[in-house]
Amino acid sequence: MLEIRGLDAFYGDFQALFGVDLSLQPGQTLALIGANGAGKSSFLHAICGMTQARGSVRLGDTDLAALPAVGRAAAGVALSPEGRRMFLSLSVRENLLMGANVRRRGPWTLDRVTGLFPILGEFADRPAGLLSGGQQQMVAIGRALMANPALLLLDEVSLGLAPVVAQEVHAALAMLRDQSEMITIMVEQDVNRAIAAGDRFLCLLEGRAALTGPCAGADLDAIGRAYFGEDDT
């Protein structure tokens, strides 16, 4: 399970997160929501070791906070980053293979990823930079899956994608969710879609946890107030 206590994150002197707590069971998906600049990406970066952080982050028996980014990757943390960040001089296949560098055991192979996203098999030898935004998003997710992660971090799953493509990506993610022990944290702009995709939600406001709870039966009005930081009167 994932157990986060009092997580702070910093960019130099600027503090982006203030004491965020979270705990998730194997197989659970967290919908991480919040306005622009609320700290969603910072939260993911603090977990995977891409930014300075303070606080405790435990995944299973592993104390992630004590490890550098490389060690966290080996411990099973994988990120599909905001903006997709393709390795531009690598082909689609090579991008996916980068995910397998950490050599973790598990079900995910090139064949399974191209089974999930067939278009990636078709375009395997193309430079990743030539793909459309939606296809690149699939590469980014597939690349993270190739690590056979215990904790999958998905930043801005459908930002900038055409609605049908976003639909397609979410359909693939829903398939994953039903059949694995992997813990997933998903950042998604579209709050309704995020709540539909998650087991629990966490709404950040200016770097603090504003509201958290189960997605089933979530009160959208309360979420709206937490999201925009209005007084709940």
Q: Does 48 bind other proteins (CB under 8 A)?
A: yes
Q: Does 13 bind ligand ATP (CB under 6 A)?
A: no
Q: Select the binding partner of residue 67 from Mg ion, other proteins, ligand ATP, none (C-beta < 5 to 8 A, by kind).
A: none
Q: Does 35 bind other proteins (CB under 8 A)?
A: no
Site mask for ligand ATP (CB under 6 A), range 199-228, x = bound? ------------------------------
Q: What is the DSSP string of the chain?
A: -EEEEEEEEEETTEEEEEEEEEEE-TT-EEEEEESTTSSHHHHHHHHHTSSEEEEEEEETTEEGGGS-HHHHHHTTEEEE-TT----TTSBHHHHHHHHGGG---SS--HHHHHHHSHHHHHTTTSBGGGS-HHHHHHHHHHHHHTT--SEEEE-STTTT--HHHHHHHHHHHHHHHHT---EEEEE-S-HHHHHHH-SEEEEEETTEEEEEEESTT--HHHHHHHHHT----
Please choose, out of 10-18, 57-65, 67-75, 89-97, the segment that lies near ligand ATP by the rule CB under 6 A. Answer: 10-18
Q: Does 41 bind Mg ion (CB under 5 A)?
A: yes
Q: Does 186 bind other proteins (CB under 8 A)?
A: no
In the list 36, 89, 179, 233, the residue contacting other proteins (rule: CB under 8 A) is 89
Query: Which residues contact residue 165 at a Cβ distance below 8 angstroms, ignoring those fewer than 6 apart?
Result: 132, 133, 134, 137, 158
Q: Does 98 bind other proteins (CB under 8 A)?
A: yes
Query: Within positions 135 to 164, which residues make up the interface with other proteins, using CB under 8 A?
Result: 143, 147
Site mask for Mg ion (CB under 5 A), range 63-82, x = bound? -------------------x
Contact 72, 79 (CB under 8 A): no
Q: Select the binding partner of residue 50 from Mg ion, ligand ATP, other proteins, none (C-beta < 5 to 8 A, by kind).
A: other proteins
- The distance of closest approach from Cβ of residue 23 to other proteins in the complex, given in angstroms and rounded to an integer, is 23
Q: Does 11 bind ligand ATP (CB under 6 A)?
A: yes
**CB nearer to other proteins: pick between 4 and 78:** 78
